[in-house]
Amino acid sequence: MYNEIDLDKIDITLGPPAKEPARQYYFIARCREWVRDFEQRNGRVPNSCVTTFGCQMNARDSEKLEGVLKQAGFAAEPDERKADFVIFNTCTVRENANQRLYGRLGQLGRSRKRNPDMKIALCGCMMQEAGVLEKLKKSYSFVSLVFGTHNIYKFPELLSACLDSDRMVIDVWEDTDQIVEDIPSERKFSFKSGVNIMTGCNNFCSYCIVPYVRGRERSRRPEDILREIKSLAADGVVEVMLLGQNVNSYGKTLEDPITFAQLLTEIERIDGLERIRFMTSHPKDLSDELIQVMGSSQKICRHLHLPVQSGSTRILERMNRRYTKEQYLELTEKIRRAVPDISLTTDIIVGFPGETEEDFQETLDIVRRVRYDAVFTFQYSKRSGTPAAVMDGQVAPEVVKDRFDRLLSEVQSISAEVCSVHTGSVQEVLVESVNDHDPSLLTGRMSNNLLVHFPGDASLIGKLYSVRLKECRGFYYLGEGGQIIS
């Protein structure tokens, strides 16, 4: 395990070992040398800033980047303009994510003029996209390091190369079948953690760029996942979020296949762990076995994120989602029968090519029928290289905007009603932080993922605490404290 490795004992004059992860520890040791030199020259340690765009998988990857930088001796600097090493972990799921990145990069390029030694690195999904690398080389040549999603475990080696070079270091792989375990990571919270259980996606929904930039589906071995969670629990983590693009198909491609439900059953047995969450679930792969495990579990949280994308069977077919509106509705009913207090949330895209007003009405209908606790709504964004980008019937932007606004107002009024049903009840929350706006309040998360603000002091952070819900404010509650549960 990483914790047992003494970086100071690595002799960097011996050259890098061939095997992973030992090779990467060698490069962390080399980066430490570079940091010592920097400190001698400048009278201070260098600092670094990791900026994350996109989903929870990226947030987890960024913890690994932070872990490596910390082990190498960099100090954390929240303001990217003041950092010596800046890394953007990028997203490309919608076009505006790319535009935001170029905007931020342009700004940083200008502030770099004041600190020409600043190194800027880019990694993550956008770097895997066709054409991006060429654009960076042409218009953003001040960038020092570019790598993608498949070789993030190589960050120490690439960091070392970039610190020693004045040229742009580039290492973007097409795909990989490798999963390297035990790379250091810096947790954002002491009491909860994301855990990757798989990477990639094989579904090829016709609008989605993820299968092209994250590659084929690969599951981590259950023994590696269990070992990681046991060590997190021993370190005080009470809640884990299992992460994957499609967790319901976990384990299918392993040498000894196991199901996601079986993995959950094993995780449930880990002492000290109190809560288990997971995302994202694909409706077509959600099994009866999983529903049964969720129904009988003491630790799996009462929340399921189940992206529907559209309520129209015709559009779902064009999206290559492989379920119908009726099958989705049956599935949600089955889940609610097994887990009556479950909170359901979803993702919806409006304006997919070919979507008519009738199709959109089907989406409004499914929203009214399922009555989601929360809906993440997106305007369709054309991603080149995906089948939908060249489909006929692209919808005019003003029509998309109009449907988006109508959907949003519908989901907001339904969610406010659905969320308020818990008023007056006593709920177990995991206390996460001191409230941003009022330091006399704490913020806790209920099993169903809703937030509650209540009076209390910071010593409760990380504890499970019972709170009475006094008042619903739309998407969160105000409560009053009770007692520590554990």
Q: Report the alpha-carbon distance of residue 480 to residue 299 in Å, rounded.
A: 24
**Which of 381, 415, 427, 447 lies at the binding interface for ligand 5AD (CB under 6 A)?**
381
Q: Check binding of 246 to ligand SF4 (CB under 6 A).
A: yes
Helices (H), 235-380: 260-268, 288-296, 313-318, 325-338, 357-370
* Annotated binding residue 472: no
**Which of 205, 243, 247, 301 lies at the binding interface for ligand SF4 (CB under 6 A)?**
205
Residue whose token pair is 């490596």: 68
Q: Check binding of 395 to ligand 5AD (CB under 6 A).
A: no
Residue 279 binding: pick among ligand SF4, ligand 5AD, none (C-beta 5-8 Å cut-off by kind): none
Residue 203 binding: pick among ligand SF4, ligand 5AD, none (C-beta 5-8 Å cut-off by kind): ligand SF4
251: left (phi over 0), alpha (psi -120 to 50) or beta: left
Q: Check binding of 197 to ligand SF4 (CB under 6 A).
A: no
What would the two tokens of residue 430 be? 């995991």
CB burial of 160-181 (b: ≥16 within 10 Å; e: otherwise) equals bbbbeeeebbbbbeeebeeeee
Interacting residues with ligand SF4 between 266 and 305 (CB under 6 A): 282
**Are 388 and 335 a contacting pair, CB within 8 Å?**
no
| Nearest CB to ligand SF4, comparing residues 316 and 430 | 316
Residue 465 binding: pick among ligand SF4, ligand 5AD, none (C-beta 5-8 Å cut-off by kind): none
Residue 156 binding: pick among ligand SF4, ligand 5AD, none (C-beta 5-8 Å cut-off by kind): none
Q: What is the distance of C-alpha 465 from the center of its chain?
A: 26
Interacting residues with ligand 5AD between 17 and 76 (CB under 6 A): none
Cβ of residue 203: shortest distance to ligand SF4, in angstroms?
Answer: 4
Interacting residues with ligand 5AD between 339 and 358 (CB under 6 A): 347, 349
| Nearest CB to ligand 5AD, comparing residues 26 and 380 | 380
Q: Check binding of 93 to ligand 5AD (CB under 6 A).
A: yes
Cβ of residue 317: shortest distance to ligand 5AD, in angstroms?
Answer: 16
Q: What is the distance of C-alpha 30 from the center of its chain?
A: 30
| Nearest CB to ligand 5AD, comparing residues 219 and 245 | 245
**Are 305 and 280 a contacting pair, CB within 8 Å?**
yes
Q: Check binding of 388 to ligand SF4 (CB under 6 A).
A: no
Cβ of residue 210: shortest distance to ligand SF4, in angstroms?
Answer: 4
* Annotated binding residue 31: no
Q: Check binding of 445 to ligand 5AD (CB under 6 A).
A: no
Q: Check binding of 317 to ligand 5AD (CB under 6 A).
A: no
Q: Check binding of 124 to ligand 5AD (CB under 6 A).
A: no
Measured from each CB, the residue nearest to ligand 5AD is 347
CA angle 119, 125, 131 (to 5 degrees): 85
| Nearest CB to ligand 5AD, comparing residues 57 and 267 | 57
DSSP 423: T
| Nearest CB to ligand 5AD, comparing residues 48 and 58 | 58
Which class for 189: exposed (0-12), middle (13-18), buried (19 or more C-beta within 10 A)? middle
Spatial CB neighbours of 134, under 8 Å, sequence gap ≥ 6: none
**Which of 38, 153, 191, 207 lies at the binding interface for ligand 5AD (CB under 6 A)?**
207
CA angle 436, 439, 440 (to 5 degrees): 135
Q: Report the alpha-carbon distance of residue 261 to residue 319 in Å, rounded.
A: 27
Kind of pairing, strands 451-455 and 169-171?
unpaired
Question: Closest by alpha carbon to 42, among 12, 73, 67, 13?
Answer: 73
Which class for 237: exposed (0-12), middle (13-18), buried (19 or more C-beta within 10 A)? buried
Q: Is 262 helix (H, G, I), strand (E, B) or coil?
A: helix
Residue 381 binding: pick among ligand 5AD, ligand SF4, none (C-beta 5-8 Å cut-off by kind): ligand 5AD
| Nearest CB to ligand SF4, comparing residues 218 and 282 | 282
**Are 12 and 141 a contacting pair, CB within 8 Å?**
no
Question: Closest by alpha carbon to 193, among 447, 440, 475, 432?
Answer: 432
**Binding residue count for ligand 5AD, defined by CB under 6 A:** 12
Interacting residues with ligand SF4 between 317 and 336 (CB under 6 A): none
Q: Would you list which residues are annotated within the binding site for [4Fe-4S] cluster? A: 55, 91, 125, 201, 205, 208
Q: Would you list which residues are annotated within the binding site? A: 55, 91, 125, 201, 205, 208
Interacting residues with ligand 5AD (CB under 6 A): 93-94, 207-208, 307, 309, 347, 349, 378, 380-381, 383
Interacting residues with ligand SF4 (CB under 6 A): 201, 203-205, 208, 210-211, 245-246, 282
